[in-house]
Chain A
Amino acid sequence: MKIEEIESEIVEEFEMFDDWMQKYEHIIDLGKSLPMIEEKYKTEDKIIKGCQSRVWLHSELINGKVVFTADSDAIITKGMVALMIRVLSDHTPDEIINAKLEFIDKIGLTKHLSPTRSNGLVSMIKQMKLDAIAFKAKS
């Protein structure tokens, strides 16, 4: 599936929820299902520093596509990472670099992009794109 298609799928998913608590319950469930990063990658240099929760992100290039795995010590953050991985993982570096990620706004997560330093969503997206740029440069 293309990145935009996955984004629309997520937007539809979130439309089913009446209120924000349900959305958060869904994000929490997503967090619980996030494929864990391998323990050996949970090192200091893999940490994306948000102010409050820690996020470990690992990326690999497999058959020309970037595969992300991640973890976080906060479950809501983990749920947001899970969404980002679902959208961006297993795509080519170019697709990742050019992704507009409009779903974040559409599902009402934009406030998590505000620079309150309270979570790492902004830094998470930035790091995923930087990894893609690095793979592109190498290939």
Chain B
Amino acid sequence: MELDIEAIRKDFPILSRTVNGKPLIYFDNGATAQKPTLVIDAIENYYKHQNANIHRGVHTLSQEITVAYENARATIQNHLNATHAHEIIFTAGTTASINLLASSFSKKFLSKGDEIIISAMEHHSNILPWQQACEEKGAVLKVIPINAEGELLLDEYSKLLSEKTKIVAVTHISNTLGTINPIKEIITLAHAKNIPVMIDGAQAVPHTAVDVKELDCDFYVFSGHKLFGPTGVGILYGKEKWLNKLPPYQIGGGTIKTVTFEKTEYADLPLKFEAGTPHISGGIGLAKAIDYINTIGLDKIAAYEHTLLEYATERLEKIEGLKIIGRAKNKASVISFVVNGIHPFDIGTILDQLGIAVRTGHHCTQPLMQFYDIPGTIRASFAFYNTKQEIDEFVKSLERAINMLR
């Protein structure tokens, strides 16, 4: 039942390195997660033994890799419990997925006076594409407010939903606060008014199982690299009925059925949205990462990470002048905090000298920093390969940093 953390840590080669002469303590998993050997080997194996372009050649290598790539798509489909493999679109990451959706969706469905709803805790990547779409079409961006704990105000959300609302785009888990949003409720409320919903799952997929059918979300996006897979690959899941209605985003090689100088007929899903040669090793590596976490089990991962979160919260709360930002009842293993009178950058710099990787700054959520009226936070984000001993070392180092800086 219990996870064998020591064995798991051996699967991640980077965890045995040192930084500035100290054993690495990696608490920046919210920025990107480390990669297990299995994923690294899959990427290497691809370039050593499988490299060819997909969906093109009649030769053996091309056929083999096409099968491998489409198997990767199927792995992701199964992982999300999507109805069809062609509802899984490979992109370059969460940001690319949202850009694709915001661009294609607004081209087809957004007009002057329409509204798009996001939330106050969105990452810039889930603000800017919608903001720009609104500017281009003369539409209005509406924002679901939060309370001081960092929880969405669902009553206010309900009031924002109207016949003008064309889409709702909210995050599943806040990268800055760790808040797990009640996305099922958010989706149900929107669907009651026939409004589609996109969920930004970048921070959620490493911590929780996602079932798009059960959620009934219209779009779900995430990145491979936060899920222990390679950088440069991500997913846009969309319901078939929606993806079929959307125009292509980037166009070119691979996205077509026939091209003449007069007219192009576009390919069916998913190729309509996958212009150019994709990040083949990325897709294959991501599927390997998903296989890996599924052998451990996301339920076990979530339970273990929750103990890390509770332990760290308890220890940090004892530090004088330290304030945790984001106190939602429902939280993932992300802790943001500030320390009275000390800039987050200073703490991050000293912690780095002590071998500890945390994130400092605004975490690409500047509106959220404005809400809390702080320049930034220090964020520790845990993965299942982190330990209580590491948290002890982190707290000790943090106290040392605070003493130096006060």
Contacts and interface: CB of A to CB of B under 8 A. Distances in A.
Interface of A: 20-21, 24-25, 28, 51-54, 73-77, 118-119
Contacts of B350: 21, 24, 76
Interface in B328-347: 342-346
A25 B353 contact: no
A62 B342 CA distance: 34
Interface string B174-186: 0000000000000
Contacts of A25: 404
Interface residues of B, number: 17
Given A28-B405, A52-B375, A118-B348, 10 more contacts: A21-B353, A52-B344, A53-B343, A53-B345, A74-B343, A76-B345, A76-B346, A76-B349, A77-B346, A118-B345
Contacts of B343: 52-53, 73-75, 77
Contacts of A75: 342-343, 346, 405
Contact of A74 (B345, B353, B362): B345
Contact of B360 (A24, A28, A52, A73): A52
Residue among A21, A28, A51, A52 facing the most chain B CB atoms (10 A cut-off) = A52
A52 B353 contact: no
A19 B344 CA distance: 22
Nearest to A74: B343
B361 interface: yes
B260 interface: no
A14 B156 CA distance: 57
Contacts of B346: 28, 74-77
B76 to A, nearest CB: 32
Nearest to A54: B375
Given A20-B353, A52-B360, A119 B405 contact: no
A118 B346 CA distance: 11
A54 B348 CA distance: 15
Interface string B79-91: 0000000000000
B247 to A, nearest CB: 35
B361 A52 contact: yes
Nearest to B349: A76
A30 to B, nearest CB: 13
A75 B405 CA distance: 8
Interface in B105-136: none
A54 B376 CA distance: 12
A77 B345 contact: yes
A25 B361 CA distance: 22
A118 B362 CA distance: 11
B341 to A, nearest CB: 10
Interface in B4-62: 20
A75 B348 CA distance: 12
Contacts of A52: 343-345, 360-362, 375-376
B353 to A, nearest CB: 5
Contacts of A119: 345
